[in-house]
Structure 1
Amino acid sequence: MIQYQDKHLTVFESQLYKTTSTVIQTEDCVIVVDPCLLPSEVDEIREHVVSMKGNRPVYLIITHSDWDHIVGAGAFPEAIVIASEAFQLKNPNEILEQVKAFDDEYYIDRKTSVVYPNVDIVVKKDGEQLKIGNTTLTFYEAKGHTDDGIFAIVEPLGIWIAGDYLSDIEFPFIYSSSTDYMKTLEKTEAILSVHRIKFLITGHGHVARSTEEILIRKQDSLKYINNLKQVIQSNAEHEHLVDSYRYKRSLKKCHEENVRFLLNE
């Protein structure tokens, strides 16, 4: 499962949708982000954490409430859960039903309980910080994909946890607000100016390891949204907007969902 690994950072990649899960270890704590997706994959992430955590506390960051990002949370009952204020306001039964529907479709059995996490540390605004010894977590609201997303910056390691933004394999999936999505993308330069980012970890796709790559991803995402708005307003053909993406047969469905969403907006 390992997409990238060094002495502090392990990025796991699921066989489904290139969904990433992240484990970060510092001298002060172990941080787990969005553990997912198949049961054996969650087990592998859990085993990795148990093998190296020692006496350090475990913090579980949930970037947003999409079912594929909360599905493995039950494997870490000891963790201190961090999520946004809006994450707490979601209907847990609705999210859990999506997990059950996926598992039923593919006859999947899970050893660990599927739970909607109870939040211990609530992120309410941009710039909130959590200091754990010499480790500092800085949080930013990341709305647009959903209305409850967060970014997390882990310092001094320079790791940016981006959730379902700034992917190299997906265009923006807009479930909440296209305006909010663009505002979230526009935070990129500000974050890069305040923090020395060495790694950007997206929820689906590959780790970005340079400022240049991060900025390219930002521009690509903005370009898609702006182009999509233009073709909708002019009632023009729009399928060509996904032609450059590798998995376009599947992504066309998501693109059509974006079209319907923006038409409603």
Structure 2
Amino acid sequence: MTSPARPEVHRHLLPGVDPRIFALRVADEVDAFVVRTERFVALVDTLATPELCARALELIADETGGRPLLVVNTHADWDHVWGNAAVEGRAPIIGHRSAAARVRSAEARDTWRDKRAADDRFDRVRLVAPTVTFDTSLTLDGGDLTLELLHTPGHTPDHIAVWIPQLRVCLAGDAAEDPLPELWEGDASSAAQLVASLELLRSLAPEQVLPSHGGTTDPALLDRNLGYFASLSGRYADAVRAGGPEFETVFPDSSGLSAPALAFYRACHRKAVRAAAAGRL
């Protein structure tokens, strides 16, 4: 078992974004977000370990001002919710109904065992499920700001995004990513679901889109992601399905990506190509 350098979380202000929203960034891993309202402070995702989440809570201690803490899980992937143990018993954890099942699944336990074997920073992880769940949507009234939690499947079956209408800000989770989102391979309909989710978010006409991966606030990210999927099912489809040179043509701009990130998104691209080849886009 190895002990790589421990990742750290940093409070990250987002240029041009209302200061009531900011990121808690673990470089090369994930962004969580904080939304401060009159009535509560919302922590959107708890990062990959209880230690990272505990540090995040220290970084936002000055935001509470006596207001209660609410936690939102965008989905049950390890980098988003394995910090849940740090807030268990001190804040409600809100997520989609199927997120609770994913956290309790044998697959989640297998993933934890594999990651623990590779890196002892996961030794103290406990798989803690959401304590408040919903199916289609849930509205959190913060007084000055409203958080609308919207089921946006496709990346995973349990995925939700957060829409803040007063600011026209969308916290997209992993439904949108730069350069491209990842499909859920366990469901043949995931590609169509993700396209529908992206179209739903675009229909809200957000002025800022904050994904959990990509470090952007650009609302055009939704158009780029939708354009990417359209390219796979459009005029390049036959060449892509054949694995020809157009496979690279439709891969989004990858300049600036680290080597590990590039390898990851190429794997995501291959998933999308398989979906296109099967006629699921």
Q: TM-score range by the shorter chain?
A: 0.7 to 0.9
Equivalenced residues, count: 251
> What SS does structure 2 have at the residue aligned with 1:187?
helix
Match of 2:228 in 1: 224
Deviation of residue 16 (structure 1)?
A: 2.6
Q: Say yes or no: does 1:203 pair with 2:212.
A: yes
Where structure 2 has 5 or more consecutive residues not aligned to the other structure, the ranges are 1-9
Supply the AA of the counterpart residue of 1:179: A
Match of 1:107 in 2: 120
User: 1:228-243, aligned counterparts within 5 Å?
Assistant: 228-229=232-233, 230-231=237-238, 234-237=241-244, 238-242=247-251
Distance 1:198 1:182, change over 3 A: closer
Question: Is the 8 Å Cα contact of residues 99 and 130 (structure 2) preserved in structure 1?
Answer: no
Deviation of residue 198 (structure 1)?
A: 4.8
Q: Deviations over 1:159-195 (max 9, x none)?
A: 321110232x331211141111111111134212xxx
**Moved runs in structure 1, 4+ residues, more than 6 A?**
none
Q: Say yes or no: does 1:4 pair with 2:17.
A: no
Supply the AA of the counterpart residue of 1:43: A
Distance 1:63 1:109, change over 3 A: closer
Q: Say yes or no: does 1:89 pair with 2:101.
A: yes
Q: Deviations over 1:194-246 (max 9, x none)?
A: xxx454221101241xxxx31x2122212222223424775242134336213
The TM-score with structure 2 as length reference comes to: 0.78
Distance 1:80 1:98, change over 3 A: same
Could you tell me which of 28, 40, 55 is aligned with 2:66?
55
> What SS does structure 2 have at the residue aligned with 1:90?
helix
> What SS does structure 2 have at the residue aligned with 1:108?
helix
Q: Say yes or no: does 1:183 pair with 2:192.
A: no
Question: Is the 8 Å Cα contact of residues 151 and 159 (structure 2) preserved in structure 1?
Answer: yes
Match of 1:24 in 2: 35
Q: Distance in 2 between matches of 1:119 and 1:261?
A: 34
Structure 1 window deviating more from structure 2 (226-235 vs 22-31): it is 226-235
Structure 1 window deviating more from structure 2 (56-65 vs 169-178): it is 169-178
Match of 2:180 in 1: 171
Structure 1 window deviating more from structure 2 (143-152 vs 219-228): it is 219-228
Match of 2:5 in 1: none
Supply the AA of the counterpart residue of 2:153: K
Question: Is the 8 Å Cα contact of residues 228 and 252 (structure 2) preserved in structure 1?
Answer: no
Where structure 1 has 5 or more consecutive residues not aligned to the other structure, the ranges are none
Q: Distance in 2 between matches of 1:259 and 1:81?
A: 35
Q: RMSD of the TM alignment (CA)?
A: 2.6
Q: Say yes or no: does 1:145 pair with 2:152.
A: no
Question: Is the 8 Å Cα contact of residues 50 and 84 (structure 2) preserved in structure 1?
Answer: no
